[in-house]
Every structure is written in structure tokens, then in C-alpha cells.
Amino acid sequence: MKVLILKNTLSEGPGTISDFLDERGLAYKVIELQYNNYSHLTDELYDCLIIMGGPMSVNDSEKIQYINFEIELVKKYINHKKKVLGICLGAQIIAKALGSEIYKGTQQEVGWYDIDFTDEGINDENFSQLLIGEKSGKVFQWHGETFDIPDNAVRLAGSILYENQAFKYGDAVYALQFHIEVSKNMIFKWLENDENMNKIQNDTDEFYKIYSEKAVKFYDFFLIN
């Protein structure tokens, strides 16, 4: 297993994903796209492509050229039936690659929110690892845009504010609007100067342990099984 991880911004790295890969002894490469060192990535197909989040919009592709590169790379990996995982902006890039539009939501989701699993999400062996209750899970969010579920994709979860929180395409492509990769340090770093900092810090202390354990189970099923 060789994994390619694309970062859209310095502050949103692979977090617990890289921890998992290190612990399992799996090979991976992390690319900082803002440094423009990505054109060679079309020369070699890895076993899995993971695209991280970022504060920009998929619709900023005219200003940020590597967004279009990511969209085309996702298409290539899907065509070759490789594993693909998108988180937050990465999920929106997958949705765009599959023909869906990206647009602003009614308000931002920042902090810990419940998502409700669809029947398909509950029955999906990979995605169901994130369940905490019978039909729901507490996840960490930081986004203000959303997407429609692409044609031929399966909706896995939604929330009160955002109907589409996750989908699966084919057997090996997962798009998650929320952040399963966050460490506590990442969350607290992102919270600097946020008006809801104290509440989110308290929620993080309450919810993080089980959340991170669920994330590891998801990585295990997605990357290894």
C-alpha cells in the first residue's frame, strides 16, 4: 500500500491519518500543493489518493490552479479504480470531479455536530466504523460550503444544517465533509481567535477520545481491509 496525500494549505495536514500510516508501516507521500511541486504526480499512480481540507473554495479554481489539477487527478484515480478519500474541501473536490456543483450553505458549521447516518451509511462496512449511537455520530466540522450528491453515488450521512455530509462512489471512493483527521492540537490551533473557542475546547475534551478511536477504525477498514 502506497498513499498519496495532497495538502491544500499548510495548516490542514493529514493529522491522525499520517499517525496511522506510520504505526502500520505503510508508505506515503505528502505534497504541499501551494509550492507548485505537483505536476509529476500524474506519472505514477499510488494505491490510494487522500485530499485534505483548506479554507479556499473549489470555485476558486481560476485563482488557485492546483484545484483543477486535483479534480483531474481524482478522475484519473477513479477511472483506474484506486482508493480515494476526500476530507472537507477534499470531499468537495471529489464531488466536483463527479459532476456536482459546490455552493455556500445557509451558515457555517464550526465545532462538534451530530450527523445522522442513512441506512446505506449504517450498512457500509467502512463508514459505519464512525457510528457512535445506533444511527448517528458526533463529528468535528469546519466549513461553510456544500455539494449535491453526484449521480450514481450513495449518500451516507447528513446533518440538520447540511443535508449532504458524506457519500460513497463505487467501492473505493469516500467523500467526508467533516474532519476525521484532526488531532487535539490541530483543533486548538484552528481555534485561535475564534469567538466560540471556549465551548469548542470543552466539547473537544468531551468528544475527542472516542472520535479519534472511531477514525482509526475507519482508516483500518478503508486502507487495509
User: What is the CATH number for 176?
Assistant: 3.40.50.880
Q: What is the mean pLDDT of residues 26-46?
A: 90
The distance from CA 205 to its chain's CA centroid, rounded to whole angstroms, is 22
pLDDT at residue 221 is higher than 90: yes
pLDDT at residue 37 is higher than 80: no
How many structural domains does the chain have? 1
pLDDT tens digits for 95-138? 999 999 999 999 999 999 999 999 999 999 999 999 987 899 89
Residue from 156, 174, 152 nearest 164 by CA: 156
**CB under 8 Å to 203, separation ≥6 — which residues?**
111, 112
Distance CA 215, CA 20 (A): 10
pLDDT tens digits for 158-216? 999 999 999 999 999 999 999 999 999 999 999 887 777 889 999 999 999 999 999 99
- Mean pLDDT (the chain, rounded): 94
Contact 6, 49 (CB under 8 A): yes
Its domain, for residue 95, covers: 2-224
Contact 166, 117 (CB under 8 A): no
Query: Of 15 and 133, which is predicted with more confidence?
Result: 15
pLDDT at residue 53 is higher than 90: yes
State the maximum Cα–Cα separation within the chain, in Å, rounded to a whole number: 46
How many Cα atoms occupy the beta-carbon half-sphere of 205 within 13 Å?
Answer: 5
Distance CA 46, CA 183 (A): 25
